[in-house]
Structure 1
């Protein structure tokens, strides 16, 4: 079986009582990605990371749970994912624009 590669993009929108609390909850979600050891980029509206499919799915679950576990009463999470054996990495997809 060929090695598989995933690129995931996740946006976490927790409900907080005010803007500062909402951003603090988002920071908790981003911290999960930072601690994962996977290659990632934080964007203005979402975060993108890549790696082995099993690792990526576990990090997605943890990111989704981070703000909820920190007290968010509700949350909208949007996930986009590509998995392939021969697809490009994040760097290969974006290098011509950097």
Structure 2
């Protein structure tokens, strides 16, 4: 299976002003997963096998619910190329 990039953004619906703390729980799921990732101001981008990354997104959504969100809207972007695509090739020239 080829390496892909998946970018995702969770938007938890909450009562109160704790949406950043809930998003932090979603990011913790990514951090604990062991995949390569970059957290940005609007989304988190991961690198790996598509099935693995989609499972991480599902677990991140569930973490938001467990942390107190009543619902979660999730936006997902997938960059697929048969020979694979890496985060480094996209951002190396900016580092």
TM-score by length of structure 1 reads 0.87
- The more displaced of 77-86 and 40-49 is 77-86
Q: Is the 2:79–2:85 contact (alpha carbons within 8 Å) kept by the matching residues of 1?
A: no
Q: CA RMSD in A?
A: 1.3
- The more displaced of 60-69 and 38-47 is 60-69
Distance, in Å, in 1 between the alignment partners of 2:35 and 2:49 is: 9
Distance, in Å, in 1 between the alignment partners of 2:67 and 2:16 is: 15
TM-score by length of structure 2 reads 0.90
Q: 4+ runs of 1 displaced by more than 6 Å?
A: none
2:43 counterpart of 1:46: yes
Which digits, 9 at most, give the CA deviation of each residue in 1:3-48, with x for residues without a partner? 31110001011012222x1111101000000000000011011101
Question: Unaligned stretches of 5+ in structure 1?
Answer: none
Question: Unaligned stretches of 5+ in structure 2?
Answer: none
